[in-house]
Chain A
Amino acid sequence: MTQIEPHTTGSLRVQRLPRWYTGVSEMIIVAGVLLLTVGIVVGSLSAFILIMPLLGWLLASTLLFWVISWAFGSTRPVFDVGVAALMAALIQLAFSAGLGLSLPPGILEGVFSWIN
């Protein structure tokens, strides 16, 4: 009944433990892995807040989207980069063009002024 399924999350993977590993140690490892996802989410949000003014919205939110989707178990990291960039770009477009709110351009400032 207390069989432990393999806990996978993209590249993070904890195999079902050998039979002689019973009881507490399993629980500790499983709890550690569970907290790991929480840690990645909180950590990536903190990192996003720190680097967003420097890198700019476009790059920072692409990174945030990519890290979160990886932590939530995506198995196609390369494809994810595309989805993340598309999402970030759409938001940037909708905000600056549609609503006139400005998001920080960051290091891409030159590129943006060149496009405009």
Chain B
Amino acid sequence: MDQLASLLEGFAVAFTPANLMFLVIGAILGTAVGVLPGLGSAMAVALLLPVTFSLDPTGAFIMFASIYFGGLFGDSTSGILLNTPGNSSAIATTFEGHRMAKSGRAAKALGTSAIGAFIGGMIACTLVVFFSPYIVELARVFGPAEYFALAVFAFVAISAVVADSIVRGLVALGIGFALALVGIDGMSGAERFTMGSPILFDGISIIVITVGLLAIGEVIHVASHIRRTPAPRMALNPEGSPFPSRREWRQVLPAFLRGTAYGVPFGAIPVGGSEVPTFLAYGTEKRLARRRNDPDFGTRGAIQGVAAPEAAGNATAGTAMGALLALGLPTSATAAMMIAAFQQYGMQPGPLLFERSGDLVWPLMASFFLGLVILLIINLPFAAIWAKLLVIPRHYLYAGITVIAMLGVYAIASRPVDLWMALGIGVVGFAMRHYSIPLAPVLIAAILGPMAETQLRRALAVSEGDVGILVSSPLTIALYSVLTATVVLSVIQHSRHSRRRRSAVRELARERV
């Protein structure tokens, strides 16, 4: 029960006024970017990175973590009220949530999603606290070859398994590697892709990449179709009690637990965040509803269909933080941004972090719990106030995003060159959105790529160039075989999906005729 003692010490640090303030700021910011369409927690963390440079690292990470959780609290609001999910993590919640809102139960849907997010996050964080020392023990035997295998696993999983199209995922991964390679190679001192310009010697800042891809790319993308899409209708007004009744509690509690069960394992696997588990949770609820002949599911909206995906989403965030701290493995875009933040402070997440920076890790873990409580408090009774954010006209929203993106990039080093690079990457991001190439693999590749390269070269240096060292230990063999199995499975699934899609199109065409 070592963990419990460390956690209690962590609570003592997290309860200081300064850290509580960062926690509340993070919770409010996170919920706000979650509620607003077009903004995500990854972008919020990226924009805050230069600003937090002068802060104490514990406070900064407490703020980032509560932004991460807050984003998952807020993202269902616009989905439920407007039928336009604020983030991809809320798509699964939107189906039943918006149906509930249309049948006059908007407040209940919002309340259920907040409680679900809270329960999912709490369970996942508790598991992380108790299992992280064991994961750290496991990770301590990791050598360069194992870390490289882990990175390869992350690359393949995020590009091939999650993306709709494997080719598109690999394209995104390639763009990320290309951006990460620019600069002076740390091991040999060779210039790579700098075109002889000293501006690029330090490489392209990850903040420039993230802000360019996510913020500027999004603004240009919205600009390209703003005249085709009508302005969103007025949001439905959430009225009534957000709390489920006793009968509803009996319905949603098992759904919360089922959702959490999907979310917890997926947070630790690098499949790019919470889209997959939220959809799995939604699918399960749909099947269960059909089995018990629930007439509400798909018509008036069933409360379980909101509860399970929300719990799954925040459970993913909890275990993702665990994987990030204990293994140094980013499993979503926001987690990848937090790795960048750790690097900014000269720390490398992973097993060594628990030894070297225990005074940071445990307060951070304690702040997860405090953050979830604060998020529940600011989300459950005040959902109607957050919904007011949706009244901000789109033109002010995107103009504001543009100005803040420029500010965030300029704050890195006060160089106009960074702004040009962000604009260029923004145009690339627009093209990627246009051709539906996923963005998360770019960030994972850009952040994890250099680490994978270093570990590969270390491993090869130890073995004096013998590639066999990469598959020499049972751990690496296990990782690569799991990877092969997943890839084979996903390829089969992809081909089956596209066959089904093709036949559906054919059927549609036949109906038309």
Query: Which A residues form the contact surface with B (CB < 8 A)?
Result: 7-9, 33-35, 37-38, 40-42, 45-46, 48-49, 52-53, 61, 64-66, 68-74, 83-84, 87-88, 91, 95, 99-104
Contact = CB atoms under 8 A, between A and B. Distances in A.
A46 B423 contact: yes
Contacts of B385: none
A98 to B, nearest CB: 10
Nearest first, the 5 closest Cβ-Cβ pairs linking A and B are A72-B395, A68-B399, A69-B399, A69-B395, A7-B227
- Main secondary structure, interface of B, reads helix
Interface in B191-244: 216, 219-220, 222-228, 231
B41 to A, nearest CB: 21
B16 interface: no
Contacts of B220: 38, 41-42
B406 A37 contact: no
Given A45-B406, A52-B416, A91-B407, A65 B224 contact: no
A110 to B, nearest CB: 21
Nearest to A65: B399
A61 B407 contact: yes
B395 A68 contact: yes
Given A9-B227, A48-B406, A72-B223, A53 B416 contact: yes
Given A45-B406, A87-B400, A99-B51, A37 B423 contact: no
Interface residues on B, range: 35 or more
Contact of A64 (B223, B231, B406): B406
Contact of A37 (B223, B393, B411, B426): B223
Contact of A45 (B393, B395, B423): B423
A55 to B, nearest CB: 13
Interface string B382-416: 00000000000111101110111011001100101
A42 B216 CA distance: 9
B188 interface: no
Contact of A72 (B394, B407, B414): B394
Contact of B225 (A34, A66, A102): A34
